[in-house]
């Protein structure tokens, strides 16, 4: 079966594509995609790995010879059949690194510009909904020149949403923001993830952004797909670079179980048990994603007493990799949730850690704030 035919057979809940491009600089993109057409798909990799080029292919801004693209069952490109839907006819929204707002239009008119691009019968996102989701109601009468970087990006995202896209593309929308502004806009992106059914392809080289937002991860290296799969699986695969370095982390998907008003704690449940974090204003039953850095996880052979660490979870060792001399990353399975722990080689020897051994993972509550 040819690659084109195999891709064309994808069901309507998939985004499938095949792109090959070569540039005079020597860089080449050779990518085949088959990812969910729902939730957030993150394109992750170092600078120069091909993330933005691939996003431009999805948008139709780059045309790959022999290329193919099907989004939720609708073919946007099939070069073998001479089919190519130009960018302006693709029902997508594109948010660039720079907000690129129209400086002569107010916030309200910038957002409305996106809505007016769509025929009334095709509008699926109301103007008020886009404004509310991004929290820009108080900014509507202001001009772009008077907005902060984070506010400008929120307006740019609202404008893209107002166009009722079937696919939303974001190219490192937080890269130009400082830590404070980035912290302000991330909750709005998380809100989009939770409340909209529009699939989002998100480009980033920042592991914390990907861990906070993504459902599916595509790891790019030198123009090729090194790995593709659910975020929770790829983050903790010991054979991938994501599980190495200071940013190595796992993700816990938990549910708010209760609040402790006396000690100002919030309790969250997930299959491995219950963890506590500093008090958050979330309703019981709300979903909360926690990023657990490998360096914040320690291992013990038995539950400890006389310790300040409250989060102690039973786990099983799934693998060990020596990242650098004297430092080992340990893969753990806590009732189906993958975790990572970075410890010394001496600790591995003293605990006699090996694959399959039962242990307990200890996580500081203050480390679960991402």
Cα–Cα distances in angstroms (integers) from residue 196 to residues 119, 167, 254, 331, in the given order: 20, 11, 20, 34
Q: What is the pLDDT of residue 369?
A: 58
Count CA atoms closer than 13 A to 298's CA, side-chain side.
14
pLDDT above 70: percentage of residues in the chain: 95
Give the pLDDT score at 367. Answer: 64
pLDDT of residue 2: 40
The mean pLDDT value for 118-125 works out to: 81
* Lowest pLDDT segment from 96-110, 114-128, 199-213: 114-128
Average pLDDT, the chain: 89
130 CB contacts (<8 Å, ≥6 apart)? 111, 114, 115, 158, 159, 161, 162
Token couple for 138:
């108080």
Give the separation between CA 47 and CA 137, rounded to whole angstroms: 35
Question: What pLDDT is attached to residue 351?
Answer: 97
Give the span between the Cα atoms of 20 and 30, in whole angstroms: 4
Which value, to the nearest 10 degrees, does the dihedral of the CA atoms of residues 114, 102, 51, 167 take?
A: 0
**For the segment 37-88, what is each residue's pLDDT rounded down to a tens digit?**
889 999 999 889 999 999 999 999 999 888 999 998 889 999 989 999 999 9
pLDDT-wise least confident of 72-81, 175-184, 250-259, 262-271: 175-184
In residues, how long is the chain?
370
Q: Are 369 and 277 in contact (CB under 8 A)?
A: yes
Distance, CA of 16 to CA of 1 (rounded, Å): 16
Cα 359 from chain centroid? Answer: 30
pLDDT of 368 = 66
**What does the pLDDT average to over 200-221?**
92
- Compute the distance between CA of residue 197 and CA of residue 180 in angstroms, rounded to an integer: 28
What gap in Å lies between CA 213 and CA 208, rounded to an integer?
9
* 2 CB-near residues (< 8 Å, 6+ apart): none
Q: With 70 as the cut, is the pLDDT of residue 6 above it?
A: no
DSSP secondary structure letter of residue 104: T
Q: Structure pTM? A: 0.88
User: What is the spatial distance between Cα 141 and Cα 108, in angstroms, rounded to a whole number?
Assistant: 6
Residue 338 has a pLDDT of 96
CA nearest to 310, candidates 364, 369, 351: 364
CA proximity to 198, closest of 156, 173, 166: 166
Structure tokens at 103: 């400086």
Report CA-CA distances (Å) from 74 to 8, 90, 196: 9, 10, 20
The residue-averaged pLDDT of 333-361 equals: 97
Q: Quick one: average pLDDT of 125-136?
A: 89
Contact residues for 286 (Cβ-Cβ < 8 A; gap 6+): 255, 256
pLDDT of residue 319: 97
Q: Phi/psi zone of residue 285: left (φ > 0), alpha (ψ -120 to 50 degrees), beta?
A: left
> CA separation (Å) from 187 to 191, 226, 306, 318, 323?
6, 29, 36, 33, 33
pLDDT at 203 over 90: yes
The full set of domains in the chain, from first to last, is 3-243 (3.40.50.300), 249-367 (2.40.50.100)
Structure tokens at 141: 């009468």
Rounded to the nearest 10 degrees, how much is the dihedral formed by the CA atoms of 207, 211, 214, 219? 40
pLDDT over 60 at 9, yes or no? no
What is the pLDDT at residue 5? 45
Sign of the CA dihedral 266, 270, 274, 277?
negative
Q: Which two tokens stand for residue 215?
A: 């459902």
Give the C-alpha separation, 73 to 124, whole Å: 18
Pairwise CA distance, residues 117 & 169, whole Å: 17
Scan for tokens 């937002």, then name that residue. 213
């Amino acid at each position: 079966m040819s690659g084109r035919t195999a891709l064309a057979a994808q069901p309507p809940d998939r985004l499938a594509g095949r792109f090959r491009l070569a540039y005079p600089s020597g860089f080449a993109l050779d990518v085949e995609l088959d990812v969910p057409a729902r939730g957030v798909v993150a394109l992750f990799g170092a600078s120069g790995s091909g993330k933005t080029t691939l996003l431009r292919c999805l948008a139709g801004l780059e045309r790959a010879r022999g290329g193919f693209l099907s989004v939720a069952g609708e073919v946007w490109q099939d070069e073998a059949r001479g089919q190519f839907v130009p960018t302006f006819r693709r029902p997508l929204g594109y948010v660039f690194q720079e907000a690129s707002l129209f400086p002569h239009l107010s916030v309200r008119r910038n957002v409305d510009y996106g809505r007016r691009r769509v025929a009334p019968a095709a509008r699926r996102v109301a103007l008020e909904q886009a404004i509310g989701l991004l929290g820009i109601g108080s900014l509507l009468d202001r001009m772009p020149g008077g907005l902060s970087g984070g506010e400008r990006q929120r307006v740019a995202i609202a404008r893209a949403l107002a166009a009722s896209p079937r696919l939303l593309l974001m190219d490192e929308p937080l890269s130009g923001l400082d830590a404070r502004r980035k912290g302000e806009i991330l909750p709005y992106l998380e809100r989009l993830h939770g409340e909209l059914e529009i699939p989002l392809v998100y480009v980033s080289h920042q592991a914390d952004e990907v861990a906070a937002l993504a459902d599916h991860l595509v790891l790019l290296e030198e123009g090729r797909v090194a790995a593709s799969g659910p975020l929770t699986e790829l983050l903790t695969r010991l054979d991938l670079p994501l599980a190495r370095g200071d940013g190595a982390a796992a993700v816990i998907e938990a549910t708010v179980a209760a609040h402790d008003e006396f000690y100002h704690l919030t309790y969250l449940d997930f299959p491995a048990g219950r963890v506590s974090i500093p008090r958050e204003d979330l309703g019981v039953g709300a979903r909360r994603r926690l990023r657990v850095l490998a360096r914040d996880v320690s291992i013990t052979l038995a539950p400890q007493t006389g310790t300040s660490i409250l989060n102690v979870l039973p786990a099983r060792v799934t693998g060990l990799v020596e990242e650098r001399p004297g430092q080992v990353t340990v893969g753990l399975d806590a009732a189906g949730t993958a975790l990572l722990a970075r410890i010394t080689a001496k600790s591995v020897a003293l605990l006699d850690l090996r694959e399959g051994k039962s242990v307990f993972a200890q996580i500081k509550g203050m480390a679960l704030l991402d």
